[in-house]
Amino acid sequence: MGMSSGGGGRRQTMSEINVTPLVDVMLVLLIIFMVTAPMAKTGVVVELPETKRTDAVEVKKPVDIVINSQNQIFVGKKKIKLSDLRAMVKDNNKSARVEADKQARYGTVAQVLSVIKNSGITDIALITEEVQ
């Protein structure tokens, strides 16, 4: 009771590759990588030292510096001269926010940033408006 292929005993070779097992294996691998990828940690592994709890450090609000279209400089709402800016920002907790009008001169903005940087402030944010 043999099976016949209907060709008089001659067997025809299959000219197509069966890709179903390949697709099965690839889907299993894809699922494995999708599950394990979020679990992988990136970066340097560091074991932090243990310390006793200390009092919280007081963090001051960043100083707000505004330059208007007439190149006038304000700290908060107080108008100041560029020469007085260093004394106004040196007591701050290492952060400043600069908001300059788009009509302000680039030179004025650069001078203000230079004074802020030279006074020891390391964290400077330039405030912009989001384009929609």
Contacts of 117 (CB under 8 A, 6+ apart): 124
Give pLDDT, residue 110.
92
Tokens representing residue 130 in the block:
């989001």
The domains of the chain, with CATH numbers, are 63-126 (3.30.420.270)
- Residue 59 Cα distances to 43, 76, 80, 94, 100, angstroms: 28, 18, 25, 10, 25
Look up residue 45 and give its DSSP letter: -
Give pLDDT, residue 44.
45
Residue whose structure tokens are 């560091």:
46
Tokens representing residue 5 in the block:
């292929």
Ramachandran angles phi, psi of 35, nearest 5°: -80, -40
Per-residue pLDDT of the chain (132 residues; tens, 9 = 90+): 455 555 556 777 777 888 899 999 999 999 998 888 877 655 545 455 566 665 555 556 788 888 888 888 888 788 889 888 888 877 656 788 888 888 888 899 899 999 988 888 888 888 777 655
d(CA 86, CA 81): 10
Q: For residues 81-120, b (16+ Cβ closer than 10 Å) or e, as one string?
A: eeeebeebbeebeebbebbbeeebeeebbebbbebbeebe
Give pLDDT, residue 42.
55
Does pTM top 0.85 for this prediction? no
Give pLDDT, residue 111.
93
